[in-house]
Structure 1
Amino acid sequence: MNINEFYSRYAAGQRDFRNLNLMAANLRNLNLKGINLSGANLTKANLTRTNLSRANLSGAILIGANLTETNFTQTNLRDANLTDTNLADADLRNAYLSVEVCEKLK
């Protein structure tokens, strides 16, 4: 699925995008509240100022992603790979993080 199809499906109400490949996608400033991106490949994606509150990103690959000012309030980030991500000013209030993820954020 290309990025335009993703946008169209999301706008039409689809919220389940498990295991989707969005490598290097520009998802900046979007409202993706409640989306299911579990297992998705978001390597080097730009998610700056994106609303991912109440989303499911469990097992997602976010290596090198830009997550500056991203809203992760009540988001499931268990087993997500956040290696080399930029989490400057990200909102992680009440986010669900596995111990391994928390260790990487130190």
Structure 2
Amino acid sequence: MKVDELLKNYTAGVRDFTGVNLSEADLKGYDLSGAVLDKAILDGAKLNHANLAQTSLIEADLNGADLSNANLSESNLVGAILDGAILDGAILDGANLSQADLTIANLIGANLSDAELQAANLQAANLDQADLSGADLAVADLTQANLNEADLNEANLNGANLDGTDLGGTILD
């Protein structure tokens, strides 16, 4: 499916795009809120400034995608592949990222307040100045992650792996 076809169908009220291949697609700034993109291939896609609030991206491939400043509030990203993705300034409050792969992802200044990140892989992820207040990071792998000046106020870190994690200036109230 091409981008123009997806946007035409979305405008016509279609929301289910399960398994669509939009590898390297330019969807910068578009509104796809409420869409179902489960198992979609969006590796390398440009989704910066896109509205993906309440979107289902279960097991979607977003490897290396640019989601900077995107709105993913209350989206479902269970098991999504976000390896090397750019999520700087993204809004992920209340999102479900359980078992997601965020290895070496950039989440600088991202809002992950009240997000579900149980068993997520955040190895070497950059969460500098991210808001993780109230987030559930139980059993998450944060090995070598950068949590410098991150807000972990009331976050659940039970069983999380913090080996080699930079916690300089982190708020841990």
TM-score by length of 2: 0.59
Number of matched pairs: 106
RMSD: 1.1
Give the 3-state SS of the residue equivalent to 1:29 in structure 2: coil
Q: 1:61 and 1:100 mapped to 2: Cα distance?
A: 10
Of structures 1 and 2, the one scoring higher in RCO (CA 8 A, sep 6+) is 1
Is the helix fraction higher in 1 or 2?
Answer: 1
Listed as ranges, the gaps of 5+ residues in structure 1 are none
Identity %: 36
Provide closer, same or farther for how the CA distance between residues 13 and 89 of structure 1 changes in structure 2, counting only shifts above 3 A: same
Runs of 4+ with >4 A deviation: none
With over 3 angstroms needed to count, the CA separation of the structure-2 counterparts of 1:93 and 1:16, relative to structure 1, is same
Which runs of no fewer than 5 residues in structure 2 stay unpaired?
Answer: 102-119, 126-144, 146-173
Pick the structure with greater CA Rg. 2
Report deviation, 1:98.
1.1
CA-CA distance at 1:69 after TM superposition: 0.3
Q: Which moved more, 1:93-102 or 1:30-39?
A: 93-102
SS at 1:103's partner residue?
coil
Other-structure match for 1:89 = 89
Deviation at 1:38? 0.4
Which residue is 1:64 aligned to? 64
- The corresponding residue for 1:103 is 121
Distance 2:91 2:34 in 1: 15
Change (3 A) 1:73 1:44: same
The one-letter code matched in structure 2 to 1:23 is: S
- 1:97 is displaced (CA, Å) by 1.0
TM-score (structure 1 length as normaliser): 0.94
